[in-house]
């Protein structure tokens, strides 16, 4: 049924088989139904944020704690990944700290102009000109838009 009707590219190619899972791995709406079914039972339609599902429990395993030998490879992969992420983040910080950022005067002037708008109108009752100025409320500092602009040799 999943091969024909499922829109999930991951599970429909496997006939809907998502393998074994533990509590806390899937969305609550799915798990609440799946863990109440006995092996061989099929659920009514279950709605989750990902869509509608029919759940058939094909097997259940008793809960147990895995041995260190069973998990050591996944622990090593996780720790290696964390180490790589930490090194990469430190490298990015070092690049940012060493960078010399120059702002283009054109960008600064455009942002200042955008921060303060001036309108000119004529009063219908007095015929005199009225000038109104509106600002963004930033005082004494560059707007965040200017701070986010970086001029590189390729953008000059």
Could you state, in order of their start, the residue ranges of all structural domains in the chain? 2-53, 65-96, 99-121+142-149
Q: Which residue has the higher pLDDT, 23 or 7?
A: 23
Q: Is the pLDDT of residue 70 over 50?
A: yes
Fold that domain 2-53 belongs to in CATH: Chitinase A; domain 3 (3.10.50)
Q: Is the pLDDT of residue 10 over 80?
A: no
pTM above 0.85, yes or no: no
pLDDT confidence of residue 3: 76
Mean pLDDT for the chain overall: 78
**Which residue stretches of the chain are H helix?**
2-5, 9-12, 28-34, 68-98, 105-115, 144-147
**Which residue stretches of 17-67 are H helix?**
28-34
Distance CA 113, CA 116 (A): 5
Residue 156: closest CA among 99, 110, 105: 105
């Amino acid at each position: 049924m999943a091969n024909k009707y499922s829109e999930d590219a991951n599970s429909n190619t496997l006939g809907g088989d998502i393998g074994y899972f533990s509590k806390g791995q899937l969305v609550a709406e799915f798990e609440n139904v799946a863990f109440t079914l006995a092996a061989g039972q099929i659920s009514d339609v279950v709605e989750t944020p990902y869509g509608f599902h029919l759940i058939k429990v094909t097997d259940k395993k008793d809960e147990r704690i895995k041995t260190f030998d069973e998990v050591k490879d996944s622990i090593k992969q996780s720790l290696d990944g964390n180490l790589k992420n930490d090194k990469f983040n430190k490298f990015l910080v070092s690049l940012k700290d060493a960078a010399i950022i120059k702002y283009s005067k054109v960008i600064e002037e455009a942002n200042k102009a955008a921060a303060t708008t001036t309108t000119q109108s004529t009063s219908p009752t007095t015929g005199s000109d009225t000038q109104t100025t509106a600002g963004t409320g930033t005082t004494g500092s560059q707007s965040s838009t200017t701070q986010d602009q970086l001029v590189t040799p390729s953008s000059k």
